[in-house]
Amino acid sequence: MAFNYDKLKGRIIEKFGTQYRFAEAMKWSERTLCLKLSSERPWKQTDICKAVELLDLAQEDIPKYFFKEEVQNIEL
């Protein structure tokens, strides 16, 4: 299942300036972060907990940032 991480990407830029700096704070390569943000690699619970802390998110914000399902656009 693919998730939409646009809101998460915005928060990363807001707090860290670049995805690279956020990846460093998570102790990941930039490639690992890109794979997670494109739904090619899943987020582990520990990853989400650390990201929530680094991004100053509330626990109730987790679904909005990590579990928003991707909606497929179909042109008629």
- How is residue 9 written in tokens? 């990407």
Task: Convert the pLDDT of each residue in 8-54 to its tens digit.
Answer: 999 999 999 999 999 999 999 999 999 999 999 999 999 999 999 99
Whole-prediction pTM value? 0.88
The answer as to whether 43 is a domain residue is yes
The answer as to whether 76 is a domain residue is no
The answer as to whether 49 is a domain residue is yes
What integer is the mean pLDDT of 53-64?
96
Q: 72 pLDDT exceeds 80?
A: no
Distance CA 48, CA 44 (A): 6
Instruction: Give pLDDT, residue 17.
Output: 98
CATH number, domain with residue 15: 1.10.260
Instruction: Please answer whether residues 64 and 27 qualify as being in contact, where contact means their C-beta atoms are separated by less than 8 angstroms.
Output: no
Domain carrying residue 56: 5-67
The answer as to whether 23 is a domain residue is yes
Using the structure block, give the residue that is written with the tokens 């008629």. 76
Instruction: Give pLDDT, residue 70.
Output: 79
